């Protein structure tokens, strides 16, 4: 049966007809009739890169080509100079080899889908694709050289590979900074419609808003059990209108939560219908805050099973983390020793009091230890805490005041740039803390922990962590706990490196949230 669509739908895109069929859990616009019934036949539009990202991706391709060419030329000139007699291998000029290497490298980036609009700007996948493409190229060079007994100059290869890879990664980082800045201002993002019940849609909205750099701009939601808005997002209609609304609003992505009432058959039919469009289908599983390395998808008879590995708190990687923590803490201490001496002198000269402040904190497995900081408050700060309880601005069990009267003039400065935390390098050297980890809590805070929050104590606390680079004291208690638990259960060396890099940016930029 064919009926006239709603007025809003007609005005939005001119889609005036839709089909209602009881065998489908969603309304089918007449323009797509037949695509659902014949998913393997009919005329379809192949998936194209998002049009709004086309200029960015084109620029990225040119940038990569330039960087690869520069890296290969530098390796060529450094190894051979301008002496043409040394520029041949098995009768083939190294100029031709260098040219071929550039072409193969660019081709490898395309094969590794390094220009896929769905992965640019967010996460480590983009960097992995670039690194994988570079690795495959030079693995191929080694194999070809060995198979055909070509004496390719090792100096040329050894210089071109790391130089080119580093330049590509640096180029991607710079391009991403530009893209992320645009996305935070609401530009160059996917237009998204969410599908599911009100509670799950609200969770999806919150998660997507936490990461604007992921490039998801939620336009609305199709929800059966709510009207008006959900978490500030307008409800466009029931779940059965998802396909119609997606076409009317010209979205790039339809994100379906695990709570959606489409069912397995309906979800498959929706995917078939979207094949004839430029709209991607994204399915959000019910599990939350689980990183990619712990997730393995295994298809069994067409059923995609998601295996979630248990987090690991012991093993060789943890031993390596402990060793690297102490080595890096020692190196940082030696480099920043002049800064630490200057801070100590400033603290001492201000009121002639002690330079260091020692405070009992709770570490791994609930063991207490003395944490060191440069003193940033007056000497009787702990005694004056009780009288300030009513002025607490912190969330949960944490005590925070943006304008704490106990903070000294020098203390305000060193807190702004987190210089008061530097003595904790000694705690790292003693094995009581890590460079990266959850925030070390006070005993009175632990006494108020909920059962789940105790999981923060499964690993060593850190000098910095996810909550410090995500808003610091401005975060709600629930958000700080969520970030710490995410780190505890999804730790990896790559995550540590990302946190330390972003920590340096936050500190040097003296971003808000530190007080």
DSSP letter for each residue of 63-90: HHHHHHHHHHHHHHHHHHTT-GGGSEET
For residue 199, give every residue at least 6 positions away whose Cβ sits within 8 Å of its Cβ, in sequence order, or none.
Answer: 259
Q: What is the dihedral of CA 423, 426, 431, 434, to 10 degrees?
A: 40
The dihedrals phi and psi of 256, each to the nearest 5 degrees, come to -105, 125
Instruction: Give the largest Cα separation in the chain, rounded.
Output: 87
pLDDT value of residue 30: 62
Q: Quote the Cα angle for 138-142-147, to 5°.
A: 145
H or E element: which one contains 169? helix 154-184
pLDDT value of residue 217: 92
- Euclidean distance between CA atoms 191 and 216, whole angstroms: 6
The SS3 of residue 425 is helix
The dihedrals phi and psi of 192, each to the nearest 5 degrees, come to -125, 140
- Euclidean distance between CA atoms 419 and 340, whole angstroms: 8
- Euclidean distance between CA atoms 338 and 265, whole angstroms: 66
Q: Tokens 């300030």 map to which residue?
A: 388
Where are the chain's structural domains? 2-33+189-286, 51-184, 316-508
Nearest CA among 392, 331, 360 for reference residue 461? 360
Residue 77: CB atoms within 10 Å:
10
- Euclidean distance between CA atoms 167 and 320, whole angstroms: 28
Q: Tokens 């059966």 map to which residue?
A: 224
Residue 127: CB atoms within 10 Å:
17
Tokens standing for residue 341: 């001496």
H or E element: which one contains 140? helix 125-147
CB 245 within 8 A of CB 220: yes
Classify residue 289 by its DSSP letter.
Answer: S
pLDDT value of residue 45: 45
Classify residue 311 by its DSSP letter.
Answer: P
CB 135 within 8 A of CB 185: no
Classify residue 228 by its DSSP letter.
Answer: S
pLDDT value of residue 171: 96
CB 438 within 8 A of CB 484: yes
Rounded to the nearest angstrom, the gap between the alpha carbon of residue 370 and the centroid of all alpha carbons in its chain is 33
Taking the chain, what is the end-to-end CA distance rounded to the nearest angstrom? 64
pTM over 0.75: no
pLDDT value of residue 489: 84
pLDDT value of residue 24: 64
Q: What is the sign, positive or negative, of the torsion defined by CA atoms of 308, 312, 315, 320?
A: positive
pLDDT value of residue 113: 92
Nearest CA among 245, 244, 253 for reference residue 214? 253
- Euclidean distance between CA atoms 313 and 435, whole angstroms: 16
pLDDT value of residue 74: 92
C-alpha dist (Å) from residue 112 to 66, 126, 137, 213:
19, 10, 11, 22
- Euclidean distance between CA atoms 256 and 269, whole angstroms: 13
Q: What is the DSSP string of 361-394?
A: EE-GGG-EEEEEEE--B-TTTTTTSGGGGGG---
Low pLDDT (below 70) residues in the chain: 1-26, 28, 30-49, 82-92, 259-260, 286-289, 291-293, 301-302, 390, 392-400, 471-474, 509-515
pLDDT value of residue 115: 93
- Euclidean distance between CA atoms 207 and 428, whole angstroms: 33
- Give me the architecture of the 2-33+189-286 domain, per CATH: 3-Layer(aba) Sandwich (3.40)
**Beta strands per DSSP E along 303-433:** 303-308, 356-362, 368-374
């Amino acid at each position: 049966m064919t009926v006239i669509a709603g007025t809003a739908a007609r005005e939005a895109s001119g889609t005036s007809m839709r089909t209602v069929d009881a065998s489908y859990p969603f309304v089918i616009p007449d323009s797509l009739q037949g695509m659902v019934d014949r998913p393997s036949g009919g005329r379809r539009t192949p998936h194209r890169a998002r049009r709004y990202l086309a200029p960015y991706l084109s620029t990225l391709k040119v940038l990569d080509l330039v960087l690869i060419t520069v890296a290969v030329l530098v390796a060529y000139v450094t190894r051979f100079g301008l002496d043409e007699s040394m520029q041949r291998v098995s009768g083939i000029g190294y100029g031709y080899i260098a040219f071929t290497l550039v072409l193969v490298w660019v081709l490898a980036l395309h094969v590794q889908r390094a220009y896929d609009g769905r992965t640019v700007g967010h996460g480590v996948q983009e960097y992995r694709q670039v690194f994988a493409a570079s690795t495959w190229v030079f693995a191929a060079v080694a194999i070809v050289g060995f198979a055909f007994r070509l004496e390719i100059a090792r100096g040329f290869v050894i210089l071109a590979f790391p130089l080119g890879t580093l330049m590509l990664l640096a180029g991607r980082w710079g391009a991403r900074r530009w893209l992320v800045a645009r996305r935070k201002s609401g530009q160059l993002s996917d237009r998204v419609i969410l599908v599911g019940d009100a509670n799950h849609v609200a969770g999806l909205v919150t998660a997507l808003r936490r990461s604007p750099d992921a490039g998801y701009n939620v336009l609305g939601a199709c929800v059966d059990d709510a009207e008006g808005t959900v978490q500030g997002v307008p409800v466009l209609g029931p779940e059965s209108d998802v396909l119609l609304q997606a076409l009317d609003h010209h979205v790039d992505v339809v994100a379906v939560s695990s709570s959606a009432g489409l069912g397995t058959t309906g979800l498959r039919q929706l995917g078939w219908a979207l094949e004839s469009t430029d709209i991607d289908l994204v399915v959000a599983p019910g599990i939350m805050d689980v990183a990619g390395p712990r997730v393995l998808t295994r298809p069994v008879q067409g059923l995609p099973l998601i295996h979630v590995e248990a987090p690991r708190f012991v093993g060789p990687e943890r031993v390596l983390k402990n060793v690297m923590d102490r080595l890096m803490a020692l190196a940082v201490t030696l480099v920043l020793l002049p800064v630490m001496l200057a801070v100590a002198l400033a603290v001492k000269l201000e009121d002639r009091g002690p330079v260091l402040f020692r405070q009992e904190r709770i570490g791994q497995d609930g063991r207490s230890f003395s944490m060191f900081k440069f003193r940033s408050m007056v000497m009787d700060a702990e005694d004056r805490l009780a009288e300030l309880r009513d002025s607490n601005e912190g969330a949960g069990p944490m005590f925070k005041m943006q304008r704490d009267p106990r903070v000294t003039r020098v203390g305000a400065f060193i807190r702004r740039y987190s210089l008061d935390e530097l003595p904790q390098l000694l705690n790292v050297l003693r094995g009581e803390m890590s460079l990266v980890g959850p925030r070390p809590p006070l005993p009175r805070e632990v006494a108020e922990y909920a059962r789940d929050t105790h999981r923060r104590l499964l690993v060593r606390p850190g000098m910095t962590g996810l909550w410090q680079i995500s808003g610091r004291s401005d975060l709600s208690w629930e958000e700080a706990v969520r970030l710490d638990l995410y780190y505890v259960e999804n730790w990896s060396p790559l995550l540590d490196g990302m946190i330390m890099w972003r920590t340096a940016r936050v500190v040097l930029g003296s971003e808000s949230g530190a007080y």
